[in-house]
Amino acid sequence: MTELADPFARVPDNQPPPLVGHNTVEGDAALLTAVRAQAGDAAETVIDSLRELGECAGSAEAREHGMLANRHEPVFHPVDRFGTRIDEVEFHPSWHWMLQRGVGFGLTGAPWTSSESMPHVRRAAAYIAWSAVEPGHGCPMTMTYAAVPALRAEATLAEQLTPGLASTTYDFGLRPLPGKHGLLAGMGMTEKQGGSDVRTNVTVAVPGPDGSYRLSGHKWFTSAPMNDIFLVLAQAPGGLSCFVVPRVLPDGTRNGLRIVRLKDKLGNRSNASSELEFVDAHAERLGDEGAGVRTIIEMVAATRLDCVLGSSALMRRSLAEAIWHAQHRSAFGGLLVDKPAMRNVLADLAIESEAATALGLRLARAVESPDDPAQRALRRIGLPLAKFWVCKRTPFHIAEALEVLGGNGYVEDSGLPLLFRESPLNSVWEGSGNVNALDVLRVLQKQPEGVEAWRDEVESAGLPELHDGVTEVLKAIANLFDPSDAEYVARWLAARMAVLLQASLLVRHSPGAVADAFLASRVLGRHAGVFGTLPAGLDTAAIVRRASPAGG
């Protein structure tokens, strides 16, 4: 009797294998181009230093840990088994696996103390290559990175805390700060009655005789409540001020931070975002009384950069998954990647992603030169307009990439639903679209050096089409006489300025096929507003080949 083969044991026909076993640095041509454009002579050293990170990020192990960290969400424990108030959050081991490696790869405060060349460009590239594996754990890493420049408002606090924030050791647990090998930082700005309007905050800071303060009030959103310190805004006698609040006091007792609840969010579910109450909490003032917004603005700027990098990372990952699927899936007589309609979609996704990556790394290079007026001015205007535009484009980008996989992309195992749920977050975090567009408007009206820096950067490509775009923007700015009219067009200005800046970077640094497609569609308007509507005559095959995940 002939034994029949088990029909369920064979490899499924026409099903793409998982995208694992590739290097998210070495296999990403657009990321390598951006590093070489911005890191200059240090580029190859930077790339060499990222190979281990890229190999880990592209591994099956990392993919599995990223999925598990989101499947098993953090659990809030208000009290211990004896009823003693502890306010702790329990995380799945995969969350700790991700953070241990992210911190170890230098994605927290390490660039601020590094003696290497281009440490912020290196971190930016690393953030793009790493964070989309599991986006939630990027939040505490971002806030830790961003806290360091803000702490410089108070030399003593900076000296005490920067080494721990810059450490590459992940040291989880609530213990006094001096005994920890690595620190993580959080931030508490918004309150339930004000949101982005932080000047309406009602948390009160009462000064004590020893120079410290006691805080009482609440914060509506405070991510990662198990972090070691928090930068918080509160109303002191002299006005809205910034404070550093430790989670644990030097004697080992818990500070007066009470977790009300963890937020039940659309995405970012591995990360514990909480509502906090301050109950006579000990705090140290950072900067002068009344200067809270001015003090914390450096932290805001750094987190905005990571919003751009994080959104770019989501685009890179979803693009890689879409192209990988199309290269291994046949339909209607051939591979999907060879079908003209699909190739148009993939190429359109690719140029959007490459433009976001190029802009993110350009802004990271501006961080390298804080004393250069031109770089400082470009960073000032570039961050809000990039955050506005790149973060706005990301949900559309990932939705289209998900659709490339069809029903497979709608299934959790593909990883695309996780990315899609994450995609709106960076547009909300650290100022929504309107907040950032109005911030761009503020620069246009009050800081002409920012406009000059933007214009010089765009026109350095030497292209007539970009010069015409700059003229269009400057004419629009000159005609903004009425404040309400200015607000009305603020989003258009931010979007147009971001696109022109991206175009200039692609023209100068990316292959002609990529730059030509971006100019034709985004700058000259030969685009129907949805992905896959690039005009005819472009080398879409070359664009897709360039964006293919190598080594998978």
For residue range 427-479, list pLDDT tens digits in order: 999 889 999 999 999 999 999 999 999 999 999 999 999 999 999 999 999 98
Distances (CA, A) of 385 to 21, 97, 146: 36, 34, 19
| Token digits of residue 181 | 């090998």
CB burial string 24-50: b at 16+ within 10 A, e below: bbbbbbbbbbbbbbbbeebbeebbebb
Residue 425's pLDDT band (boundaries 50, 70, 90)? very high
Q: What structural domains does the chain harbor?
A: 29-289 (2.40.110.20), 294-547 (1.20.140.10)
Select from 357, 267, 273, 276 the least CA-distant residue to 311: 357
Strand partners, 188: 232
| In contact, 402 and 388? CB cutoff 8 Å | no
Select from 147, 142, 118, 146 the least CA-distant residue to 368: 118
Residue 120's pLDDT band (boundaries 50, 70, 90)? very high
Q: What is the mean pLDDT of the chain?
A: 95
DSSP for 231-295 reads EEEEEETTEEEEEEEESB-TTSPBPSEEEEEE---SS-TTS-EEEEEEEEEEEEEES-TT-HHHH
Residue 214's H or E segment, with its range, is strand 213-223
Residue 11's pLDDT band (boundaries 50, 70, 90)? low
Residue with tokens 């050791």: 169
What does the pLDDT read at residue 550?
77
Select from 503, 491, 451, 458 the least CA-distant residue to 475: 451
For residue range 211-229, list pLDDT tens digits in order: 999 999 999 999 899 999 9
What does the pLDDT read at residue 196?
80
| In contact, 223 and 249? CB cutoff 8 Å | no
Whole-number Å distance between alpha carbons of 148 and 549: 35
The DSSP output letter for 5 is P
Strand partners, 230: 186, 245
Whole-number Å distance between alpha carbons of 222 and 436: 20
Select from 502, 426, 498 the least CA-distant residue to 132: 426
For residue range 125-170, list pLDDT tens digits in order: 999 999 999 999 999 999 999 999 999 999 999 999 999 999 999 9
| In contact, 296 and 231? CB cutoff 8 Å | yes
Residue with tokens 């809030």: 76
**pLDDT higher than 60, residue 486:** yes
239-246 and 273-286 beta bridge pairing: antiparallel
Residue 8's pLDDT band (boundaries 50, 70, 90)? low
Residue with tokens 């390490």: 110
The CA-based diameter of the chain, rounded to the nearest angstrom, is 94
- The helix-helix angle for 292-328 and 119-130 (nearest 10°) equals 50
The pLDDT of 508-536, averaged and rounded, is 97
For residue range 340-390, list pLDDT tens digits in order: 999 999 999 999 999 999 999 999 999 999 999 999 999 999 999 999 999
**pLDDT higher than 90, residue 480:** no
The DSSP output letter for 16 is P
Residue 325 CB coordination number (10 Å): 23
- The helix-helix angle for 29-39 and 340-367 (nearest 10°) equals 30
Phi first, then psi: what are they for 182, rounded to 5°?
Answer: -155, 145
| In contact, 34 and 357? CB cutoff 8 Å | yes
| In contact, 351 and 518? CB cutoff 8 Å | yes
| In contact, 133 and 57? CB cutoff 8 Å | yes
| In contact, 495 and 343? CB cutoff 8 Å | no
Whole-number Å distance between alpha carbons of 227 and 247: 7
Whole-number Å distance between alpha carbons of 140 and 282: 22
| Token digits of residue 237 | 């006698």
| In contact, 124 and 37? CB cutoff 8 Å | no
Residue 228 CB coordination number (10 Å): 26
Planar angle of CA 551, 418, 94, nearest 5 degrees: 80
Residue with tokens 């350095």: 460
Select from 465, 461, 456 the least CA-distant residue to 381: 456
Alpha helices of 13-154 — where are they, by DSSP H?
29-39, 43-49, 51-57, 60-71, 93-104, 110-113, 119-130, 138-151
Alpha helices of 415-482 — where are they, by DSSP H?
416-422, 425-428, 433-446, 448-459, 464-478
Whole-number Å distance between alpha carbons of 475 and 202: 42
The pLDDT of 83-107, averaged and rounded, is 97
**pLDDT higher than 90, residue 173:** yes
Whole-number Å distance between alpha carbons of 500 and 503: 5
